[in-house]
Every structure is written in structure tokens, then in C-alpha cells.
């Protein structure tokens, strides 16, 4: 009776481990390639960070802008982790619309966690410890910093750009809300207007400057839905399809105020709120179509 001896030895456990690592790394690489491939749409995420603002813009070619970072409670880092690939540690531009804690407080942590190409500041005076901490963090990391002025335009790709509409002057001597950076994002025929905490007096000033050029598909409602913003004439001119309110549930300011909600409903605007829906993700194509993702 003949005996058959196999010449194939079983793989050593360590070799299986090494092969497993290679398979995992290969999968990660291909995931990254797929995630970073240009797409046809721009994605704007209004992050759920409680009472405050934080807006993440990702263009079709993955140019990225973060507008504000909420307060310094770390919520913005968790929210960014949910909308950015885990391996992406770079943000092209960070904008601090004004020095208030609920807008700029979380940006210190962002600068510590991510590499940032440039920072855009309003020029408002940093009177709080949080605002001074942000300026010190920017300085210590050597991030190029610019003061926002009307006429600046950040080109993210051939179809996507963010224009600064306000301030058009030195705002160091005015209340911080009145010096808020106001920007308008355009992706093809789709448009978004971000008004930070600008009050109605600044809205009226912009109406005098730009008139119907302010018309936008999406309005980030000013000052978390406070009655101090989103005047009737301004809202009628912007004529948005969607209005997004970023506010914390049960916040002590009573935001959003009921008269603002009623005003938005009167104009037939679809209202989206972070305190009810969490992070709100809007995706637009170059033909002007916008959908809630």
C-alpha cells in the first residue's frame, strides 16, 4: 500500500497575520481612492454642535472650508469626524466669522487636530479668553491668516467658489455680531448664503449694496433664528428654498424665536434645524438642484 505525503505545508499563523494586514491596507487605499475621486456635487454640512455655528463645505474636487466651529466643548471634532474621511487631516480654509465663543471656541481644537491651509478672521477684537486662545493657536502653528474684506473670493474648483460680501471695512470698533463675516457659496447654478450672527441693520446694508444678487437657494438663518436677524425684506429678496437654523435644543436664549419661524413659513421656505434633525447635509449639482441627504 502506497502512502501519499503532501509537500504543501500549512501557512504559519504569522504569515496569515501579515497577509491580513496587506489585504486591510489594500482595502483602505482603494477606499481612499474612491472617496477622493472628484464627484459631480458639492456637499454642505451644517454640523450639529449644539448652540452655535459650524458649517463644512466640500467641493466636487474636495476643496474644503470650515465656517466656524461652535464652542470649545469638542463637539465640532466629533461632527467633523462624521462627515470627513478618517484619513483626511487637512482643511483648506477655516473661517472664524466673529470672535464669539459659540462660533470660534471650537476652532482651537480644530487647529490642534487638523492641518489648516489658511484662516480668515473678521478683524473683530478678541476680548474673550477663547478668542485670544484661537489667535495664539494660529500664531503658534504659523497658519497664514487674512482679514476678511468684501471682494475676496475663495476658488475651490472650476465650478465652486465662496465670495466674501461683508465686512467691507475695519470692524474692530463695532459689536462682534455687526462685524460678522457674511459669505455666499456658488456651485454652478446652486447658491448658499451664510450670514453668521449679522443683525438686520447689516442685512439692510447688504440689500443696498447687492439687491437681488443676494438671491440664494439656501439661507443659513442669522443668529440662530434670533429676532434680531432675518428681516422680512431681506428674506423676501434672498428668497431661499431652504433655511437652516443652527441652535441647541432648549437653549437659554429661546432660539429660534417664533416670529422668525413664522416669517420663514410665510415665505414658503422649507425650514431645517440642527436641534431637531442633527447634522444637516445638503448636496447640490451644478444645474442648481439641491437635495437633503
Q: What is the pLDDT of residues 72-96, one digit of tens each?
A: 899 999 999 999 999 999 999 999 9
Give the pLDDT of residue 164: 98
- Among 6-10, 14-18, 145-149, the range of highest mean pLDDT: 145-149
Average pLDDT over residues 45-72: 97
Give the pLDDT of residue 36: 59
Question: Has residue 20 got a pLDDT over 60?
Answer: no
Question: Has residue 29 got a pLDDT over 60?
Answer: no
Give the pLDDT of residue 3: 42
Residue 98 has which C-alpha cell? Answer: 466673529
Higher-confidence residue of 149 and 9: namely 149
Residue 213 has which C-alpha cell? Answer: 444678487
Question: Has residue 35 got a pLDDT over 90?
Answer: no
Residue 45 has which C-alpha cell? Answer: 454640512
Average pLDDT over residues 110-132: 92
Percent of the chain with pLDDT over 70: 87
Higher-confidence residue of 8 and 270: namely 270
Give the pLDDT of residue 293: 87
Give the pLDDT of residue 41: 95
Note the pLDDT tens digit of each residue in 126-147. Answer: 778 888 999 999 999 999 999 9
The predicted model scores a pTM of 0.87
Give the pLDDT of residue 122: 96
Average pLDDT over residues 56-81: 96
Note the pLDDT tens digit of each residue in 227-277. Answer: 999 999 999 999 999 999 999 999 999 999 999 999 999 999 999 999 999
Cα separation of 284 and 42, whole Å?
5
Question: Has residue 153 got a pLDDT over 70?
Answer: yes
Give the pLDDT of residue 284: 95
Amino acid at each position: 500500500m502506497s502512502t501519499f505525503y503532501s509537500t504543501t505545508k500549512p501557512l504559519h499563523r504569522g504569515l496569515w497575520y501579515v497577509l491580513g494586514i496587506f489585504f486591510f491596507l489594500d482595502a483602505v487605499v482603494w477606499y481612499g481612492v474612491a472617496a477622493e475621486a472628484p464627484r459631480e456635487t458639492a456637499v454642505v454640512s451644517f454640523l450639529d454642535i449644539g448652540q452655535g455655528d459650524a458649517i463644512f463645505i466640500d467641493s466636487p474636487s474636495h476643496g474644503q472650508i470650515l465656517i466656524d466651529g461652535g464652542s470649545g466643548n469638542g463637539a465640532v471634532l466629533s461632527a467633523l469626524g462624521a462627515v470627513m474621511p478618517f484619513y483626511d487631516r487637512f482643511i483648506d480654509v477655516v473661517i472664524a466669522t466673529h470672535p464669539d465663543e459659540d462660533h470660534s471656541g471650537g476652532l482651537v481644537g480644530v487647529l490642534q487636530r487638523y492641518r489648516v491651509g489658511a484662516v480668515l478672521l473678521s478683524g473683530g477684537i478678541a476680548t474673550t479668553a477663547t478668542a485670544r486662545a484661537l489667535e495664539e493657536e494660529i500664531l503658534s502653528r504659523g497658519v497664514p491668516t487674512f482679514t476678511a474684506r468684501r471682494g475676496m473670493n475663495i476658488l475651490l474648483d472650476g465650478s465652486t467658489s465662496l465670495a466674501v460680501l461683508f465686512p467691507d471695512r475695519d470692524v474692530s470698533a463695532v459689536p462682534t455680531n455687526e462685524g460678522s463675516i457674511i459669505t455666499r457659496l456658488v456651485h454652478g447654478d446652486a447658491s448658499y448664503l451664510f450670514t453668521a450672527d449679522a443683525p438686520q441693520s447689516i442685512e439692510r446694508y447688504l440689500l443696498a449694496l447687492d439687491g437681488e444678487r443676494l438671491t440664494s437657494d439656501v439661507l443659513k438663518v442669522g443668529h440662530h433664528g434670533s429676532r434680531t436677524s432675518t428681516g422680512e425684506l431681506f428674506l423676501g429678496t434672498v428668497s431661499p428654498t431652504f433655511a437652516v437654523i443652527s441652535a441647541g435644543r432648549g437653549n437659554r436664549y429661546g432660539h429660534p424665536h417664533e416670529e422668525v419661524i413664522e416669517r420663514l413659513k410665510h415665505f414658503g421656505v422649507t425650514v431645517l434645524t440642527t436641534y431637531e434633525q442633527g447634522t444637516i447635509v445638503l448636496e447640490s449639482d451644478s444645474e442648481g438642484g439641491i437635495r437633503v441627504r
